[in-house]
Chain A
Amino acid sequence: MASVLLENICKSFVPGKPVLDHLFLDVKPGELFFLLGPSGCGKSTLLRILAGLEKQDSGTVKFDGVEISSLPPEKRQAAMMFQNYALWPHLTVFENIAFGLRIRGKKGSVLKDEVMSALEAVQLADCAERRIPSLSGGQQQRVALARALAVRPAVLLLDEPLSNLDARLRDTMRGEIVRICREREQSAIYVTHDRQEALSMADRMAVLQAGKVSQCGTPRQLYELPANRFIGEFLGDINFIDGKITDGKLLTSFGNFPLAGNSGGAVSGAIRPERIKFVSGDCNGAFEAEIIRETFLGDSGEWICRAGETVLAVKEMAPPPRRIGEKVFLAFEPGSLLAMK
């Protein structure tokens, strides 16, 4: 396990259009760190810079405090699990995994044991002699993970590794990756645009926007206290409520509400749908609203309600039946209405 420090990284493929713009990032040893962002935000480029497959225009990359920017890919000890797996089709599963180990001088029974151990970790021990094209997508995915883990890299780089899997296999693999990384205390940087993946697996995560880190922290911190509208929306459904902000309060057509967080410079309030509750009319802070649309999701439900001029989404678990046009009372959970810039 190694720490990773990226300082002032800049990269552009077209002059004047930076993909990474003076980016800073600090990953602690043994941490499963997620880079989250929309397509084109520079997260895969960042991973390739870490692997040495792209050269940054400026800035430094450090592993365990040692500058590695000038090292070629083969000297970096950063094993990557590629998005399309990049398994060598002319080699067997065993040979794919043994490749990196052989380069590191492993041979004979040691080599075999380590390959088999990596295969067992991904539950593919019986596939060692199979050819890559004969494997299913999920199996290929696991071979790619085993290949990256087998060399015991200082840093494991995962580039949207689950993007090609069906939902069920994806859930299983999420658990497997977290388990293996925790067991080995493996420092890993995981790139994805899937917020569920990031929120459910990450120790810490960073959201990239236009080549910069917009916010970095634990999943809970980012979800509950997003730094701006973009992060708020990117990490899940969120209501933005316009109004006048005075003395830490949001003044709206349907009531005045205290804002959490620093309201200086804020332009609106924001609240997650699950933080709005259906309440009785005499409840403190309750305001009246009308249900205008209902989406039944089985174990939960989502309602679109109109309060004054504002449309709000509300989520509730095990919801009772409600009808369109019904007048209801809603209330914000205390401290959940955020001041948003």
Chain B
Amino acid sequence: MIFRKAVQYIFMLLLLAFLTVFLLLPLFTVVGEGCNWELIAEVFRSPVYVEGLLNSFAVALVTTGIVAVISLALALLYDRYDFFGKEFCPVLMLLPMILPPFVGALGFQQLLGYYGVVNTILTQCGLERIDFLGGSGKFWSICVIEALHLYPIFYLNLITALGNIDPALSDAAANLGASKLQRFFRIRLPLLKSGFLAGGSIVMVWSFTELGTPLMFGYNRVTPVQVFNGLHELDNNPLPYSLVLVMLAVSALIYLVMRKLLSTPGGTAAVKGSMGSRAEKLTGWRRFLPTAAFAVTALLSVLPHLALTGASFSLRWYDTVLPEVFTLEHFDDALSNPLVLPSIVNSLRYSALAMVIAVCCGTMTALISARWHLRGAWVLDLLSMLPLAIPGLVIAFGFLGMTGEYAWARAIFNPVENPLWLLAIAYAVRRIPYVVRAVGAGLEQTPEELENAARNFGAGPLKTLGVITFPLIGANLLVGALFAFSFSMLEVSDSLILAQKSVFFPITKALLELSQILGSGAASASAFGVWAMAFLAVTLISAGILLGRKIGAIFKF
């Protein structure tokens, strides 16, 4: 027994070492490189960088605001009522996540461009064209498209939190004379704080550090794009490191402030023994009202993707409401571009490797936290969740800094020679939280007594894992693997920063390059994006069906 415990501790130490080298070390590298007071002062002296920070913060604030409104309304409808088509909502909610918003930006431009669909409709109605994407239009477009992409994360967190509120708590308030509104504001809303914190902090940090969408819109006065543009002169000018450090500090501050504002002491105890929520059955025409709300929101969020699909199949879609000439030419063009096929192969290699690493590390972490009861396991759990709170751009920059700073890192992970392991590990580290949460949720739902029973009847630890634990949490393992793989396939920050030679480009970097080719570039990129969209759709819908309502737990910090 002592030997087994020792083996378990060795596994934990190995995982801690892995996360120290590939999460903390990149972070410290960024901090080390960027922690130059002169350069940090320079960041705050430069009106361009200050404007970038303010714009990024404004994007984060507005995006989170929009997301909160949409998500709260939909989550309350879902939780409170039984309505027509409710069973399809979990899958519908995943639709907006089909593509990273930076690809959706291509479709958004098709919709709101000066000669896009909306302006064509306006002129057909005898109205003037509006430059939606000019001036502050870009800012609002970025906020809207990011909100339409990110609201499912917030929504799923709220749904999970609502599911944990015992209806008896509200009943007790009603019993003491509280009105519906009083019950909502005094009972349900305070108990939802954990959902707001979990969803809100992820959405805010995500939108604060989002690189792809502003890049696609050419909105350069935001910090992530300024950091990305600074990459080219990194050898002469280390200022981007300081910029990243400032970004990291602001992200941490956002998280801390939200935690301070939304922490609920004793919240867990309040919902102990939860009976789950109780939905009211709507009848007649009313049962279609929530359906309509869900459908309209989903339609709005997939409109950019629909537009992207339209653009990929059309030869001409300019100053018309619908595409005019349909063709498969763009798919041909996309595939014949020398960047595309290798990028697919590259992404498959990076992502498959990332998935294996993330699943191994994530599963082991979940087992250590939920089953092995080792001292100090909380450190591992906390460390494995850290990537959710740290901007991808920071980690990517950290990896880049590591290859410059340490000879061993340069020898193994040189991004110029072959970024396979560098990208696979960078992808994996950021996907470990999803695997930990997915597998952890499975372990929490599976009574430990089932494994104890197997041990009691003579099965060793490995046999128990293979015959009892893994079959029982198979769906969760699969979902964790699917998330790790699909999010790696369309990862932006690491891909744009760490893949430096075209021969090593993954899909996202090839998409960016394609979209910047003058002429048919955008159409080819759209065609390429449609393929990616179909791929992620299959993955996420499978995950949604497998996990149902519990899928929200995956996006919880």
Chain A interface (Cβ < 8 Å from any Cβ of B): 51-53, 55, 70-76, 78-80, 82, 84, 86-90, 99-100, 103-104, 147, 151
Contact = CB atoms under 8 A, between A and B. Distances in A.
Nearest to B463: A103
Given A74-B457, A151-B457, 13 more contacts: A51-B452, A70-B2, A71-B1, A72-B1, A73-B452, A73-B455, A80-B456, A82-B449, A86-B453, A88-B450, A88-B454, A88-B468, A147-B457
B62 to A, nearest CB: 47
A94 to B, nearest CB: 15
Contacts, number: 67
Given A88-B472, A90-B472, A72 B453 contact: no
A294 B210 CA distance: 78
B interface, by DSSP: helix, strand, loop or mixed?
helix
Contacts of B460: 72, 74
Contact of A70 (B1, B459, B471): B1
Nearest to A76: B456
Contacts of B463: 103
Given A88-B472, A90-B472, A53 B450 contact: no
Contact of A151 (B2, B458, B471): B458
Contacts of B1: 55, 70-72
A55 B1 CA distance: 10
A138 B471 CA distance: 26
Contacts of B449: 82, 84, 86
Contact of B456 (A79, A89, A90): A79
Contact of A74 (B455, B468, B472): B455
Contacts of A86: 447, 449-450, 452-453
A82 B455 CA distance: 12
A211 B456 CA distance: 24
Closest 6 CB pairs of A and B: A100-B457, A86-B449, A103-B458, A86-B453, A73-B455, A74-B458
Nearest to A99: B457
Greatest chain A CB density within 10 A among B2, B452, B456 is at B456
A216 to B, nearest CB: 25
Given A88-B468, A88-B472, A90-B472, A74 B459 contact: yes
B456 A51 contact: yes
A264 B450 CA distance: 51
B457 A79 contact: yes
Given A99-B457, A151-B458, A53 B468 contact: no
Contacts of A87: 450, 453
B4 interface: yes
A135 to B, nearest CB: 16
Contacts of A104: 458
Contacts of A147: 457
A99 B454 contact: yes
Contacts of B453: 80, 82, 86-88
A53 B471 contact: no
A interface, by DSSP: helix, strand, loop or mixed?
loop
Contacts of B467: 99
11 contacts: A51-B456, A52-B456, A53-B455, A79-B457, A80-B453, A87-B453, A88-B450, A99-B454, A103-B458, A147-B457, A151-B457
A140 to B, nearest CB: 13
Interface size class of B (residues with CB under 8 A): 20 to 34
B498 to A, nearest CB: 41
A281 B463 CA distance: 74
B452 A103 contact: no
Given A86-B450, A90-B471, A78 B456 contact: yes
A82 B457 CA distance: 12
A75 B4 CA distance: 14
Interface of B: 1-2, 4, 447, 449-450, 452-460, 463, 467-468, 471-472
A78 B452 CA distance: 12
A90 B454 CA distance: 13
A79 B450 CA distance: 13
A53 B457 CA distance: 12
Nearest to B453: A86
A293 to B, nearest CB: 34
Nearest to B467: A99
A93 to B, nearest CB: 14
A72 B452 contact: no
A151 B467 CA distance: 18
Contacts of A55: 1
A323 B199 CA distance: 69
A250 to B, nearest CB: 47
Contacts of A71: 1
Nearest to A97: B457
A72 B456 contact: no
B459 A53 contact: no
Contacts of A75: 458
Contacts of A51: 452, 456
A100 B455 contact: no
A70 to B, nearest CB: 6
Given A82-B449, A86-B447, A53 B472 contact: no
A84 B447 contact: yes
Greatest chain A CB density within 10 A among B1, B4, B468 is at B1
Contacts of A89: 450, 472
A82 B452 contact: yes
Nearest to B471: A90
Nearest to B455: A73
B76 to A, nearest CB: 32
Nearest to A95: B467
A84 B471 CA distance: 20
A91 to B, nearest CB: 9
Nearest to B456: A80
Contacts of A151: 457-458
A265 to B, nearest CB: 44
A100 B4 CA distance: 22
Contacts of B457: 74, 79, 99-100, 103, 147, 151
Contacts of A103: 457-459, 463
Contacts of A78: 456
A133 B453 CA distance: 17
A72 B2 CA distance: 10
Contacts of B450: 86-89
A154 to B, nearest CB: 12
Contacts of A76: 456
Greatest chain A CB density within 10 A among B4, B453, B463 is at B453
Contacts of B455: 52-53, 72-74
A81 to B, nearest CB: 9
B375 to A, nearest CB: 14
A104 B471 CA distance: 21
B492 to A, nearest CB: 39
A82 B456 CA distance: 10
Nearest to A71: B1
A71 B457 CA distance: 14
Greatest chain A CB density within 10 A among B450, B454, B457 is at B457
Contacts of B459: 74, 99, 103
A151 B458 CA distance: 10
Greatest chain B CB density within 10 A among A73, A84, A87, A99 is at A73
A88 B453 CA distance: 9
A72 B458 contact: no
Nearest to A51: B456
Contacts of B472: 88-90
Contacts of A73: 452, 455-456
A100 B452 CA distance: 13
A90 B468 CA distance: 8
